[in-house]
Amino acid sequence: MQKDFKLPGIVWGTMWMLFIWLGYDMLTEFRNYLYPLFLGGLFAYLLYPMANFFEKHGVPRILSNILSILIGLVVVSGVSFVIYKQVTLFLQDIPQMQTNVSHNINLIFKRINEVTGIQSNDLKNSVKQMTSNLLNFSGANLKNTFSQTFQTVFTIGIMPVYVFFLLYYRNKFKEVILMLVSSHRHKLATQIIDDINQLVIYYMSGVFKVVTILAVINSTGFLIIGLKHALFLGILAALMNFIPYYGTIIGYFFPLFIALFTMGSPVYAFLVLIQFAVVQFTENNILTPNIVGAHVKLNPFMIILAITLGGFVWGLPGMFIAVPMAAVLRVLGENIPAMAPIGYLLGSSGTEEHSITADKISRFFKRIVKK
């Protein structure tokens, strides 16, 4: 009788480590090819409802795709034009901002010296150098920046082509997957494909809704505060929210810098911090959970880990791609038994007894009243 051969655990562990290392190496080596393709897939999902609408009303698929992409490009071009005009106005104020920065830093450290009696000349010079670097938009620096980002911009420029063909061949991709799966699993495979399609469509449309709402909230808030270049700073902060959780923190760094070092009073920085707290709470507890979160169904810890890993591998594009990819893994884990642990780990279930709900809060206050 032949015995089953089993590899030792250390061998399995080594094989998995080798697989992960090779996967990471391939992702980083071919990043300029892969992440535009992945981004193109996400934008294809975003434009799919529009393309499908045109197609259902008798427009040929090729023309439907072209119209959808053109409408998308018009929207992107419009937003880009507004940002360009705002950036132009912002750059014109750089010399005055640099003067204000130096003056405000001197006042801040003078106040610190008066209160604590501590001389901080080295620290003051370091802060001045750092802020000067942040506002140094000389022609040489801009030329250097553009030369470094040219390859990335050129690579991303191919995305409309990817979007068109991904929309055009969408049925073919599904058929290929079904060809790779045994016939008795076609029903399950079809269900998984449909679930993933709906998830990514809802995620992409939801994220764009959240970013649009936050652009209005941010810009309005900065205008009320009296911050210079409120529209530019509001849109910039909102665009960072394509990255969940981290987005608001990253997006508000520059407005806080402007308020703290270029405005005439520290009150502006304090008001920006208050607005940041309000927007962060609104985005994390109202907008994203209701517009996006109901479909993603990932627990916050896994979202943070996925975004961190995506940023480590592919930078900002990786941080944007990470959440829908993790959600796709969650769907696979919930439908494929072999991947069930992954689905459970990524999902939001399993901690219901510890979560804070309206019913638990109500019962808590009732117990306090009874006492």
Interval 175-217: pLDDT, tens? 999 999 888 889 999 999 999 999 999 999 888 989 999 999 9
Check residue 294 and give its pLDDT.
67
DSSP string, 30-51: THHHHHHHHHHHHHHHHHHHHH
Q: Region 123-127: what's the mean pLDDT?
A: 62
Whole-number percent of the chain with pLDDT over 70: 76
**For residue 122, what pLDDT is reported?**
62
The residue ranking higher by pLDDT, 95 or 277, is: 277
CB neighbourhood size of 359 (10 A): 8
pTM above 0.85, yes or no: no
Higher pLDDT, 58 or 292: 58
Q: What is the pLDDT of residue 129?
A: 62
For residues 293-305, give the mean pLDDT: 81
Nearest to 247 by CA among 311, 158, 185, 186: 311
Cβ atoms of residues 44 and 65 within 8 Å: no
Q: Which residue has better confidence, 263 or 249?
A: 249
Per-residue confidence (pLDDT) for residue 123, from 0 to 100: 60
**What is the per-residue pLDDT for 353?**
63
For residue 156, name the pLDDT band (cuts at 50, 70, 90). Answer: low
- Whether 167 shows a pLDDT value over 80: the answer reads yes
Q: What pLDDT was estimated at residue 45?
A: 93
pLDDT tops 90 at residue 288? no
- Three-state DSSP class for residue 226: coil
> From CA 348, how far away is CA 326, in angstroms rounded?
12
* Confidence at residue 301, expressed as pLDDT on a 0 to 100 scale: 86
**Residues 72-97: what's their mean pLDDT?**
80
Lowest mean per-residue pLDDT among 116-120, 144-148, 161-165: 144-148
Pick the more confident residue, 40 or 148.
40
Instruction: Give me the chain's average pLDDT, please.
Output: 80
How far does Cα 99 stand from its chain's mean position?
34
Work out the pLDDT band at 218, boundaries 50, 70, 90. Answer: very high
How much is the pLDDT for 148?
45
pLDDT of residue 50: 93
Strand partners, 347: 298
Point out the least confidently predicted range of 36-40, 334-338, 355-359. 355-359
pLDDT of residue 117: 62
Contacts with 314 (C-beta within 8 Å, 6 or more apart), sequence order? 27, 31, 34, 35, 321
* The pLDDT of residue 142: 43
pLDDT digits (tens, 9 = 90+) for 138-152: 434 544 444 444 455
DSSP letter, residue 182: -
Mean pLDDT of 84-101: 74
Q: Amino acid identity, residue 201?
A: I
Higher pLDDT, 294 or 162: 162
Q: Is 371 helix (H, G, I), strand (E, B) or coil?
A: coil
Give the length of the chain: 371
What per-residue confidence (pLDDT) applies to 115?
Answer: 66
CB 326 within 8 A of CB 310: no
Mean pLDDT for 34-53 is 91
Does the pLDDT value for residue 259 go beyond 90?
no
